Structures are given as structure tokens and as C-alpha cells.
Amino acid sequence: IACGERIALTPPMGWNSWNCFAHTVDDARVRAAANAMIASGLSQHGWSYINIDDCWEGGRDAEGNILSNEKFPDMKALGDALHQRGLKFGIYSSPGPRTCAGFDGSWRHEEQDARSYAAWGVDYLKYDWCSYGEIAADSSLGELQKPYRVMRAALDAVPRDIVYSLCQYGMGEVWTWGA
């Protein structure tokens, strides 16, 4: 047994919606994937994450809080349903103003987004570089690390363990600092 700040001592394994559904992902398809993970027996062998990759975002409310779109009417209920099945709930965002599919990213809303994810019961965040290159000051190591450190601090401030997956395309030798 290992205790401490480091989580995901073994590689997180599971299902990601992008290559299967891309922009057509919705609540029903995510639940069906969870059912398939259980029915196949994969969930009994460490495959426990069900990750919604992009296209779930529905803009922001007047206070700047991230909203889910009409395809995901209740993210907390979806997270609760996955947890009740013994699975973990994953979600996606970008440190830039837009995700790869053009939805709202977390730029300048990291703390709000982290609080929303924690309230929804999110266990895993895939954070994809996408549009951050448009606002990065340069390609220095510090600038490549900056948006990931900002979200890491936001995730650390919420009362929930959230595995943090950096999708950064290998720039700046991410494997040396991104653990």
C-alpha cells in the first residue's frame, strides 16, 4: 500500500470516446461504453476509466463556470452512475481558449473548471495542448510547462483526487517533467 500525494501508481486504463464517437459522443453512448466495459469483463482486470474526450462542452454561464451541452444533461448524474458501477469518470479540456474540436477550453478558468470537475465526480482529466500554442509567448520550456502547472495547482486545490493526463505532443521533453 502506498500513501501520499502521488496517485495512479499503475497506468490508468479504460475507454476514451474520441476514436469511437468523436463529436457524436453523448450520455447514452458513454453509458453504453461503461456497460460494455463491465459485460466484457475488462473492468475486472483494471480497465476502469470511462473518458469523455471533447465535444461535451456547452459554453459558460454568466459567472464563467463551464457547462455541459444538451448531449450531457447532467454530468454529476453521469459521474454518479459510473461510480455506482465501480468505474471512474474521465473528462477532457484544453489549456487554450478552445479545445481541439472548437469548444471552450479552460484558459483563464482553470480554478472554476477544477471545481466543476470535482463537483461532478471526475476522476481523470485529459488536458490537450490544442489552441494554447496560439497564446503561448514562445516555445521555451517554461512556456510549455506553464499551462499544465496552472491546472495542476487548480486540481490540487479541490477536495478530490483527479488523475491528470498531459496531452502535449512531446514538446519540451514532457516525459522528463510531466509525471
What is the percent of the chain with per-residue pLDDT over 90, rounded to a whole number?
92
Please write the tens of the pLDDT for every residue from 66-113: 999 999 999 999 999 999 999 999 999 999 999 999 999 999 999 999
Residue found by looking up cell 486545490 in the block: 157
Nearest by Cα to 154 from 124, 110, 122, 104: 110
The CB-side HSE value for 77 (13 A sphere, CA atoms) comes to 6
Confidence of residue 121 (pLDDT cuts 50, 70, 90): very high
- pLDDT for position 6: 80
C-alpha cell at 133: 500554442
Output the CA torsion 23→24→26→31 (10° steps): -110
Identify the pLDDT of residue 17: 97
Is the separation of the CB atoms in 131 and 96 below 8 Å?
Answer: yes
Instruction: Give the mean pLDDT of 147-169.
Output: 96
Give the model's confidence band at 152: pLDDT under 50 very low, under 70 low, under 90 confident, else very high: very high
pLDDT, tens only, 30-66: 999 999 999 999 999 999 999 999 999 999 999 999 9
| 48-60: burial string, b at 16+ Cβ within 10 Å, e else | bbbbbbbbbbbee
Distance of alpha carbon 107 from alpha carbon 95, whole angstroms: 5
Nearest to 85 by CA among 18, 8, 33, 138: 33
132: nearest Cα among 172, 159, 161: 172
pTM over 0.85: yes
Question: Over 42-88, what HEC string results?
Answer: HHHHCEEEEECCCCCEEEECCCCCEEECCCCCCHHHHHHHHHHCCCE
Distance CA 122, CA 15 (A): 15
